[in-house]
Structure 1
Amino acid sequence: MLLTIRRIARDHAMVAVVSLLACLAAGDALARDIFSVEGIAVDRSAASAAEARVQALRDGQREALGLLLRRLTLKADHGRLPSLSDTDLTTVVKSIGIDNEKTSPTRYLASLSVSFKPNEIRSLLRNAGIPFSETLSKPMLVLPVYRTAGGPVLWDSGSEWFNAWAAIERPDSVIPVILPLGDIDDIATISADAALAGNQEAIDRMVARYNVAELLVAEAAIVDTTVDGNGTVNGGQLALALYRYGAGGPQSRVENFALSGTTAEILAQGARLSVESLEDAWKADNLLRFGEEGVLSALVPLTDLSGWLTVRDRLERAAAVRRIDLAALTVTDAQVVLHYLGSPEQLAVALAQLDLSLAEEGGYWTLRVASSTR
């Protein structure tokens, strides 16, 4: 299941969830299917329940297709995404799951999960001339730091910036985001000041605790506010800074937005814009480059032959890998030739999301199973 924003309850009894999620991390990261869309709520009325059901299933599949196409493509291309007739729509759907089905004589309600045929979706986008990415990012831990007149705030239970992130629901996201527990261990591990200063020791401890590959410090402040006669903020400038910490080293992005609404509304818009910015940057870096193909040979160290099966299965899940040729296989290693799209650096990023490490060692490529993170 593709889970986008998760905020684990701030309850000391929930601390055990951290270790449980760490154990399940690898399975969660590898189990997600980018061509499946879940949680499509349908509610249709018609002359009969049977007719309402037909309409609901058709409309639900169309909504799911729209979500999928937006998930795969850049925001700049969303205005020119292809639309399909009812007949053509059925040709790209692989399967439909139905939950919580309810009916009355004239009404039909349900929650749908729709899986699409990968090759048909690829052809649809390529024929429309729209670039796309199929690489799902591993989940990212977010620390929302809000600058107030009294100083930066991270763990305040009433933080509107923290709550804005917790309220985000984006089932089409390619970057699942989780929020920390905010329990006594988190508070003791990292403060707002330490997060803004990029205290690497504290950041590393948070990354290890939540078993994630990346951590994002999202800093927000509202400046130049406009206030109505009742003293209520109804607009202002949102100063937003995003600091990412991961395998590629620290990265930062600073943006300013003129937004309208109350403080809570401005921060809600800011959280949504932050996620959209992260998603678009991720997809831009991982677009499938069909005109740029490469071949590389890599050594795969093994402890047993089942290890090769694990590596092969994960390689087959990487969209950038077009063909896998096994050149040699022994009980201690395998030699594999990969035909792929894009650059070696892009390939390495895509494989890292599947817990495979591709690195150049002594002038030769080595591919190995990496330590599992969420």
Structure 2
Amino acid sequence: MNVIRMLQGRAVAAALAGFLALAAFAMPGLAGGPVETSPFAVQGVDIDVTSTDATSAKNQALMDVQVKAFFQLVEKLGSPGLVAQLRAKMKPEEIAPLLRSLSIEKETSAPGRYIGTFTVRFLPGKMEKFLAGYNISVSTVQADPVLVIPVHRAPDGPKLWEDNPWRQAWLNLKAEQGMVPIIIPLGDKDDIDTLTTGEALAGDTVKLDAIRKRYDAASVLVAQAQPTDDGGLHVYIEGDIKLGRVNINKIYTPETGEDGTPVAAETAATLAFKKVLYKAYEVQAIAEAEAKAARDNTPQLLAVTVPFSSPREWNAIRARILNTPSVSGVDLSSLDFGGATIRLVYTRSLEELQANMQRVGLNLSQGGNGWVIQPM
């Protein structure tokens, strides 16, 4: 990347094209599964480039797709206004250092033309820092992904992989990179060979686990929906996920959105499901934070040896220990001319205690005879 920053003009284009071509073929496996869940990734980025020949068109596409994906990501995490601001001043070579990898979802080429669809991933740390410069904070903490298998019980028979309004509503949800990633299978040949409609409806645990593993999801749910005579949709989703037990048995009806536009029953149901998962995650996160705070504030004891050469040195070391953040007490177990054995009373984690010791000039380390505190 440092080389890329130094290059100018055509050299930049050549370097970027070479780098992206390598990324496209060498790093597609960085994602956990065929659907990307990172909040700093953009999936399904379409590109269509015409040039003098197919190779030139593809090289240009590999450059253009990162720029297109970057502005899509900025709009998703920021705002259209920020996109307009950045388009006016950012150059492609300034975007390149933010790129982590890209992979090709599908591609076709013809003489002088290249058409492709890509997944583009950006470096989380660099993107967080970049967006923070525009007062945009991005939450990078996510729950474990949930794989949802939509089955539409249509009048002419249940449909799993065929096009239907229930499956499309889940695809339109686009919640793969949210607080609780909700993954919808692609419905490609591998999926079709792995799970049939009958197996999904029967809750075949072996087949459902196989497709769950393909998408690197922590849990899998079969979401059934059947149209009602009055235009509603009877939704049934039951199963266990990392956030708890899911048990939805409800009829959804078409609604009117906040902007006055009609919302189909299928869409209303998927939005309600997403809201339930997000709420469950928030409740779990609060409970875990409270439990961690309680653990952090619970006094802990650690037996430590403190070597010293004089009473003055011992007093100096003891004063530093007592001034260490998270240390609440020093209980003397034994004392002689060569050192002391103490019981250190502290809160929070042992790793944090070691870091705090270093701040006051002490080193807390574990040797063959136990824990030792010595001046740095």
Q: TM-score range by the shorter chain?
A: 0.3 to 0.5
Q: TM-score, normalised by structure 2?
A: 0.42
- Between structure 1 and structure 2, the one with the greater Rg is 2
Q: Which structure would you say has the larger RCO, counting Cα contacts within 8 Å and 6 or more residues apart?
A: 1
**TM-score of the two chains, using structure 1 as the length reference:** 0.42
Bigger helix fraction = 2
